[in-house]
Chain A
Amino acid sequence: MDQSTLKAEFLKAYDLYGDDIFRFCAMKVSNRELAEDLTQEVFMRYWQTVRDGEKLKNERAYLYTLARNLVIDWYRKKKESSLDALTEQGLDFGDEEYKKIVQSAEVKEVLSVIGKLDDDARDALLLRFVEGLTPKEIAAISGESANAVSVRINRAIKKVQGLIHATQ
């Protein structure tokens, strides 16, 4: 495939998934600028892969894989969980409507529950229910079997239900 065709497909992938990757990063690092940087870095790495002619079975899942790895790298460096900030104050990301949503008691409760999950359970829930990925796609990202992911998701659901029940 020539440069211009590949570049057009690359930018199309960004148009399609840019917001998704940004959201995924933002929900994990709680910092808009950092999430923007990470998003750009994800797509730069994605270009490095495609320009080398590697065929990807599922480009969306691959983008999440890159994002997840970059976030992990960032956390290793940072060694502190920004999700604490997320659960306490939400993300300063949006318009007035967004701020209203964040301030609602329900959202605070949801974020509080999310913040109490371990990283793997949180990733599994966000990828499955917010990003809409299938267990098989999540498995490709985390390097596990689809069955293992399904089990994790079910456990995470039970954990969430337990936490919600405890707060009611």
Chain B
Amino acid sequence: MNTFDKFVSILKAYAERIRLEPHIRTKVRLALASYADLHEVQEQKAARTPKFGFLEDLGLYAFRAGFALFTLAVGAGGVAYASGNALPGDALYSVKVGMVEPLESAILMEPETKAAWSAILAERRLEEAATLATRDALTDETRTYLEERFTYHAERSDAAAEEVELSGKSEVALMARSDLEARLAAHADLFLYLSEEGNTAPLYEKVAKKRDEVAHKRHESEQRIAERTLAYSDRQLEDAEEQTEEVVRKLEEAGIDNDEVRSRILAAREALISARSSHARNEGGVAFVATQAAARLTHEANILAKNRSIIALGLPSVTTESAKAKEKESAPNIKAPAVTRPAIMLKAPAPSEQKATSSTKKDDKKDAEEDEERSSSNESSRDDDASSNSNGSDREDSNDSSDNDSSSDSDDSDRGSRSLRDTVRNTVNSLLGN
């Protein structure tokens, strides 16, 4: 054996010992199988029923897995199936939370699916609270119970995401945290809206606090990944854009058109435009953060769309042609849907519309207080910059001017359009940490 042959044989003997540990090999295989399921081949993608965003897919994966066991375990148990929509106080509710959900949870061994599934359960408790609140049936006792269960599931989701991150799969952990954050953000907004009539103020506080905690962790994970993201591929960007547009198509097909959903979609599109600019400047990390923001906003839009009946309670849509024209003119890069009145979360409600909206009982003062509360909440949770303050000034101007003119549809719509744009920009800026 000559010297080089010996060198190679030693090197090979050494290298052959380097291999994936069996449990890691299995975990990566599972993750890849999930990844393949979540990113189906293109032909099938077009043929299948459009879904609401890729983050929802993570949840669906968990749900499918859970449902498979549920079917096996319960068999012909129609009772269990019927319990799906049960609310606290219903006879079947204990079947739902005491039997079906634990069974569904039982087979989810991987922390990534646990994180997704726990986020879904946390959201379910919030949906139940919101539904009861709209029926004026959310007692203090039920609310306290749902608060506790929500906290339990949200913390489990958070812990599972932590476990995923510790195992080195930081992008999967980020996905799980973004998923939970979007669900919490959407429901915090719903509870804020319902708080006047639906006994949900304490829930809002709880959910908003958790949302901020999750947002903080998500931000940290995101920054770590962004730091090592040197380049963002065209395909990744196109995928992100496609995901948002898929939700838009679905919303259009379903005829869903309200300001809450629209403001998220507009913000998501703005974030994607920002991502494209960063991508063009070879700022991979910035593009990554922007597409993450777009995905979260799209997910929020999806959740709000599902809960549109709550949003619609006090917010009849008032669409004017002039508003459409103004919006189109002001945001040429965005395929802007028709603009109606500013949404409840928007920071500059059009005064005349408040008067015209009989089911909205808030007076100007209360609106201003709530807006202020929301503004400060946003500032603390999403690091809003001075743009929030300037928006606050806009709001005062808007309210002041209402004393002089409260009847012009055109002017109100103009203010609404401006408000919508401001909110979209502020939201994008705050999400991007600008």
Contacts and interface: CB of A to CB of B under 8 A. Distances in A.
Interface of A: 1-3, 6-7, 10-11, 14-15, 18-19, 22-23, 26-27, 33-34, 36-37, 39-40, 43-44, 47-48, 51-53, 73-74, 76-77, 91, 93-95, 97-98, 101-102, 106-107, 110-111, 113-114, 126, 129-130, 157, 160-161, 164-165
Contacts of A106: 10
A26 B41 contact: no
B15, B25, B35, B227 — which one has the most chain A CB atoms within 10 A of its CB?
Answer: B15
B39 A18 contact: no
Contacts of B41: 1-3, 6, 51, 53
Contacts of B33: 7, 11
A56 to B, nearest CB: 15
Interface string B216-232: 00000000000110110
Contacts of A48: 39, 235
B24 A3 contact: no
Contact of A40 (B17, B169, B231): B169
A9 to B, nearest CB: 10
Contacts of A37: 168-170
B228 A74 contact: yes
A23 B44 contact: no
Nearest to A73: B230
Given A22-B18, A22-B20, A98-B17, A47 B11 contact: no
Given A37-B169, A53-B42, A106-B10, 15 more contacts: A2-B41, A6-B36, A14-B32, A19-B19, A19-B20, A22-B18, A36-B20, A36-B28, A51-B36, A77-B227, A107-B10, A107-B14, A113-B7, A126-B15, A130-B12
B411 to A, nearest CB: 50
Given A27-B15, A110-B10, A7 B20 contact: no
Interface string B136-172: 0000000000000000000000000000000011100
A22 B19 contact: yes
B13 interface: yes
B-side interface mostly: helix
Contacts, number: 117
Contacts of B228: 74, 77
A161 B3 contact: yes
B251 interface: no
Given A7-B33, A11-B32, A130-B12, A18 B18 contact: no
24 contacts: A1-B41, A7-B37, A14-B29, A15-B29, A18-B28, A19-B20, A22-B19, A22-B20, A23-B18, A23-B19, A36-B24, A39-B28, A44-B35, A51-B42, A53-B41, A77-B227, A93-B18, A98-B17, A101-B13, A101-B17, A129-B12, A130-B11, A130-B12, A161-B4
Interface residues of B, number: 37
B76 interface: no
Contacts of B18: 22-23, 26-27, 91, 93-94, 98
B231 A73 contact: yes
A93 B11 CA distance: 15
B213 interface: no
Contacts of A73: 230-231
A163 B18 CA distance: 25
A159 to B, nearest CB: 10
B40 interface: yes
B72 interface: no
A164 B12 contact: no
Contacts of B230: 73, 76-77
A129 B36 contact: no
Contacts of B13: 101
A73 B229 CA distance: 9
B36 to A, nearest CB: 5
Contact of A101 (B8, B14, B37, B235): B14
A15 B30 CA distance: 12
B31 A94 contact: no
Nearest to A23: B18
